Structure 1
């Protein structure tokens, strides 16, 4: 629960009764127990901002918490926030070991949570109906209901889901009940004002209170702010109305166009509070551009250099003083998480609407500076590891929120520094999303960063007046090179063949132009560019070009100052794959065994430094299988499986690749049952993401082969149909470089499916 119970909660009895009737758990009928009947209840509370949806939910939970074994609160306005909240809940339920790599796999924890919702056992010692837990899942502030599909349990005999949303409708009301929360009636509003003001009202005062309610159309949040201002100023309701009339006249005269409210607009009830926080206003404006559900105080501390928002608190003492003033006027509230704030979205909207364009840009830049000062940027080199993930995950919602405001302004000559800082932040944020397997978010951030840097280039070279206060032309070029690298690597990972070659060719050309003729020093970007370009060529089965690039990457690395052999691990393992794929298996073994030996000397036997050692083990298993040394093949593939599980997690696509290879070994040993179990695990992993359609096609192909070996002809035929469907769907993505393949399943071989897959997963 992000908020404590509201001691001023008032009314809403009919809505609370509807929620009680719709959501309180009931025992399933005896003939439904254990049959997978979908008895999950749901109810959606709809209504505009400020109507009190979240407050009703909090009150309902406190009234009926004793009826549920577990209550889960999820911030549902962004997919990234849902998946992070689910990840935390899964750990708290003990469904995954927090110390394992699986705990960092957000797709796995999503699936584990959904599985638990469908069969919510109180204890893993018993799965009987009597041990099932009753649960309530709250999805607060849903904007796009489509993103709920991947988190919604498909079936279940118990459980309730409560949704809040500003949308007028979410789904078919007959299937998914909902109710629209209405404003208070005039009499309800007057009673609510009396409770907030803690005073007995005469008939004259009640009439004034009705006028106040009419002003804000009976919205509870607006009534709370206005009444709070009246109490703070210790004035009567009549005096407030006279005062408000004067403010309206002043607005109409447009005396202060920089900070203004339009007369009778939806946010005008906040004017009194805003007028009372002059020294805290810059902080309020910064808060208006951050994620409202969790704002740690730590990210609000201004860095000692580079911060340019006039009036913003420059010391921790000044920051806490400003926060206290915002508390006083209820413009922020305390989060249950220590040292963090919550802010109502309507307050954020009101603050932003008051900003003139230049000031809006200054506040946006200030937010970028604050987040960047806390963001753990990763150096542009061979980048792997998970140590920064927790810190990035806390800041990611704020970067996602800023993205929505970035489109409000274009790159300008007088703000090159601000544009560059934002490009740098979203570039590294995109790389973090890539590390976590968030391909959509990664490509989105990469696209934003590239667009900004391309726009920045047009302003260079700078004149002497502007050169000192803005990023240099080389800094912009370096940032663009990193962006192209990142976008190319993401494209390779998900097998986007055209995009990967486009981005990585350009990255390589930039590095050749900058670094090709000068001493290498410690700059390994040229070596990086050759390695990644080699991967792009490999996606197109251009093995000759791939080999050439990997060799150049190794040569470039060897010229670096303080070079160590383990540093060429990635191009070396890629080169081993080239040799294996073109049938030079002995050479592949020599390269791979040497690379593995170097890593063992550096990091120890079976190190868990990163997943790179797993790639050597996997490739060695493939090479030994091609040489028909099947015992050695099974040994190395088994080691690769253990390594991937511990470094990447049990539901990573590379782990699934290894299941397929080991299944092949088991099939050769005539152990069809074990082969089938492994292939089915792989299929489940691949189907969790649309990025792995080709891998799923291959897995279905192998499952059909296993089922035929086991004599399960009907099952095999079904898998053949699914494999062919997925094969053609995957091949359609590569129609620019592959002709249409209309062959029936019987004419396809394993190599046909492999050609659709990234080379390191074959």
Structure 2
């Protein structure tokens, strides 16, 4: 590498996730092996990388000129004479420095020294990153500036060095300390310098130790290139001094870990006095070991810090703007003031507001209006809307958001990955948490940043006491005058109103308590039905007694509810509309797939009208025209107001026959909407999105009916739950899978005679899940139960022994017996499965290649290497849906045969494919990463590299 190549260090780019930037090069490794490792990491990172662009250090010309002059003075006269002169008033940058030393580069480019620069380059990268951190912490200029540090290391390594022995001596020391330098730039981004002065001082002190080491090295390099210099450099006293520098830097780094913990605590305290629950959570975080925090920082900082995101970025889901926004300007002005001014004129901090009030009073409408007013204003580069009524729903939304951002994540930590991205982007963002009636749900999803704003809507009047929100804005219903004026805007202006009608509007506004949602639906009824307000009043008065029986939870006795409008509107809703509302009362109220009703051949008489596309379209229009449901056309989904949903559900409970019929139809629609389990493929990522759309609705139905569900409905719900269980296995959301399996066992108690075929499928899927989560004994027991139930079912239906399920069960019996070391039994099960495939001529339909691979794996772990290789060769020639799985097993065979080069190539190819198809955080991909690490960790491998393996 030449001096010109080394000048790229000044660009400010930091190597991430490459062996050369994080490990010490092995002198035993050949150039071919080093190039292969780098290529492997590059190909995989090309798939999962999101480029991290750093910020160039803030050097000044005066600093550079002083550094250059100092270095020129240290050169031998002959070398100094060959350097190009510095142009007067020229801008000093990397290219200018390279031009000055170009003559020396040509003089020394054939020297053995330049081969050593391949080791020096990653160290110089760390030094530059360290210099940037110090430049930020203590300001540009002075003896500790980034320019001086960088310039010192450049001349130290590229100009002043005389002998290779000196190079090797200092190089070992630099490599020892450079591993500490990667963290400082990240810490300063996580913790602003102006706020965390003590942390900055600690970084400055650490810098001093490193700088002292640089000066010590330069001083000795200025000595003549003679034996005395070499002897002096490597005397025990000098070695001890260099070791002392390394120890001090390491100790300072350890102290900084404690500073990071303290800074974390300060960040929590600056949000105000924590509620008891939040205090406990924060205290638990503070008491974590320093190494855990460092590992957490490194994990998310190294995993592609900033994904490629097109700004402005919007994640608003199905949240359309309310074009009928009316008479809420006072609240908007107050909200703007809270969101655009910094309280107490202190340092910049997160701006947060909670809008609380009665359900249906317009909280979400105000939040939406604020969001859309700033949609294109340029204030917020990132806008995120979340439905926050349940923690599980928030987790699902953060998973969706992580996928849109391209952020690596795990099932249980997607929200952590997303928050890390938000917290580390120096740009204004707006996060809205809608319907957060339980503010404690937000604790794990709350941002820790000074750049953005957060808005909460909640029915809970005590929401601000959670100390997440800095300000509270209480929403109240319309006044009598405002309510009647709002109701009047909902009636076409072409309709003249009599004095009686005007009086009726005022009466309705008073009776509804000014509740905007109730008034809007009343106006929709008046408009849709072409009746007058006075007629609507009389119609309503006839139903007052039954309506007043329902009280909104937490509302005052005199406050009226959505039930008022429902009893009146229901008289003009079409039969199809009533069916849809009955079904929606069981679902989660948000993000209901609109096409879930577009199911042909509905078997139930109750829902058969939905099979007619024209009647279904009419029913949907009937509901949207009365504002009973919102249809978001971008996501093609429905929302139903919670109060209306509760009212409908209460009404259904009074009619047990209709309740059970609606419940059955709801479960049936979800069953038809969700894709069937496909046993021809081990994983079907194309189906995951469809399943994710109904997860919250399945949970809602189960919560509604788990205590009262009858056997017939439980049978259908069991089939739906089985699909969700399979999704949990395929997508590696094993916690979800185990939870659904627990629900299934509860449902089985409600079913009088569960079908053995269904039970066989349930135990088969969960057995595979247990096998992948290293619960081998449980996996074996459940696969055996699956086989037992299928054999019982085949007594009535012998054709079941000719299905893919039966052969998959046999093969998995072989897999689970292999996992517990019972190889002879495993071999028999695998051979039986293969024989059955061939007997039924199902080699292509059932992926014969992968069944043979399973047998080969059994041979491999039982030590039958020859049989394993022969079976794998046959497997590669057979039809298969997962050829990468065969290559994975072949790679393991290569490892046991000590053919490491071929094993490395195979596992690299498998890793690239898994990272692309399943994502970098899927456990199957992680297993491939582990296999690559295992190869590099083998001491009998020519490419052994312990740090690369780690």
User: Does TM, normalized by the shorter one, top 0.5?
Assistant: yes
What is the alpha-carbon distance in structure 2 between the residues aligned to residue 335 and residue 506 of structure 1? 45
**C-alpha displacement at 1:147, in angstroms?**
6.2
What is the alpha-carbon distance in structure 2 between the residues aligned to residue 302 and residue 653 of structure 1? 35
What are the equivalent positions in structure 2 for 1:75-86 lying under 5 Å apart? 75-77=387-389, 82=394, 85-86=397-398
2:687 maps to 1:388: yes
Contact 1:143 1:166 in 2 (8 A): yes
Instruction: Decide which of 706, 725, 733 is 1:438's aligned counterpart.
Output: 733
What is the alpha-carbon distance in structure 2 between the residues aligned to residue 117 and residue 250 of structure 1? 50
What are the equivalent positions in structure 2 for 1:175-324 lying under 5 Å apart? 175-177=468-470, 179=472, 181-184=474-477, 186-187=479-480, 188-196=482-490, 211-230=507-526, 240-248=536-544, 267-279=563-575, 280-309=577-606, 312-324=609-621
**C-alpha displacement at 1:507, in angstroms?**
0.9
2:948 maps to 1:664: no
Contact 1:283 1:312 in 2 (8 A): no
What are the equivalent positions in structure 2 for 1:41-440 lying under 5 Å apart? 41-65=351-375, 66=377, 67-77=379-389, 82=394, 85-86=397-398, 89=401, 95=406, 113-120=418-425, 132-142=426-436, 152-153=446-447, 155-167=448-460, 169=462, 173-177=466-470, 179=472, 181-184=474-477, 186-187=479-480, 188-196=482-490, 211-230=507-526, 240-248=536-544, 267-279=563-575, 280-309=577-606, 312-337=609-634, 340-355=637-652, 356-380=655-679, 383-407=682-706, 409-412=708-711, 416=712, 418-440=713-735
Contact 1:90 1:113 in 2 (8 A): yes
Q: TM-score, normalised by structure 2?
A: 0.57
Q: Classify 1:658/1:253 alpha carbon distance in 2 versus 1 (closer, same or farther; 3 Å).
A: closer
What is the alpha-carbon distance in structure 2 between the residues aligned to residue 353 and residue 289 of structure 1? 11
Give the match's secondary structure for 2:385. strand
Match of 2:166 in 1: none
Contact 2:764 2:809 in 1 (8 A): yes
Q: Classify 1:625/1:410 alpha carbon distance in 2 versus 1 (closer, same or farther; 3 Å).
A: same
**C-alpha displacement at 1:548, in angstroms?**
4.7
Match of 1:688 in 2: none
**C-alpha displacement at 1:57, in angstroms?**
0.7
**C-alpha displacement at 1:203, in angstroms?**
11
What is the alpha-carbon distance in structure 1 between the residues aligned to residue 612 and residue 573 of structure 2? 18
Give the match's secondary structure for 2:634. coil
Q: Classify 1:146/1:675 alpha carbon distance in 2 versus 1 (closer, same or farther; 3 Å).
A: farther
What is the alpha-carbon distance in structure 2 between the residues aligned to residue 23 and residue 536 of structure 1? 58
**Can you give the 5+ residue segments of structure 1 that lack an aligned partner in the other structure?**
33-37, 97-101, 121-131, 255-262, 459-472, 604-608, 680-762
Q: Classify 1:495/1:457 alpha carbon distance in 2 versus 1 (closer, same or farther; 3 Å).
A: farther
What are the equivalent positions in structure 2 for 1:589-628 lying under 5 Å apart? 589-595=869-875, 597-599=876-878, 602=879, 609-610=881-882, 613-628=883-898
What is the alpha-carbon distance in structure 1 between the residues aligned to residue 854 and residue 438 of structure 2? 41
Q: TM-score, normalised by structure 1?
A: 0.69
What is the alpha-carbon distance in structure 2 between the residues aligned to residue 105 and residue 557 of structure 1? 37
Q: Classify 1:11/1:365 alpha carbon distance in 2 versus 1 (closer, same or farther; 3 Å).
A: same
**C-alpha displacement at 1:285, in angstroms?**
1.8
Q: Which moved more, 1:183-192 or 1:524-533?
A: 183-192
Match of 1:9 in 2: 325
**Can you give the 5+ residue segments of structure 2 that lack an aligned partner in the other structure?**
1-315, 551-558
Q: Classify 1:310/1:432 alpha carbon distance in 2 versus 1 (closer, same or farther; 3 Å).
A: closer
What are the equivalent positions in structure 2 for 1:310-709 lying under 5 Å apart? 312-337=609-634, 340-355=637-652, 356-380=655-679, 383-407=682-706, 409-412=708-711, 416=712, 418-453=713-748, 455-458=750-753, 476-497=755-776, 499-515=778-794, 522-538=802-818, 540-543=820-823, 545-563=825-843, 567-595=847-875, 597-599=876-878, 602=879, 609-610=881-882, 613-668=883-938, 676=947, 679=950
Q: Classify 1:499/1:48 alpha carbon distance in 2 versus 1 (closer, same or farther; 3 Å).
A: farther
Contact 2:353 2:473 in 1 (8 A): no
Q: How many residues align?
A: 616
What is the alpha-carbon distance in structure 1 between the residues aligned to residue 395 and residue 864 of structure 2? 44
What is the alpha-carbon distance in structure 2 between the residues aligned to residue 561 and residue 311 of structure 1? 41
Superposed CA RMSD in Å reads: 4.3
Q: Classify 1:275/1:109 alpha carbon distance in 2 versus 1 (closer, same or farther; 3 Å).
A: same
Contact 2:548 2:564 in 1 (8 A): no
CA deviations over 1:673-708 (Å, ceiling 9, x no partner)? 9754664xxxxxxxxxxxxxxxxxxxxxxxxxxxxx
What is the alpha-carbon distance in structure 2 between the residues aligned to residue 419 and residue 653 of structure 1? 33
2:336 maps to 1:20: yes
Contact 1:534 1:549 in 2 (8 A): yes
Larger radius of gyration: 2
What is the alpha-carbon distance in structure 2 between the residues aligned to residue 531 and residue 147 of structure 1? 44
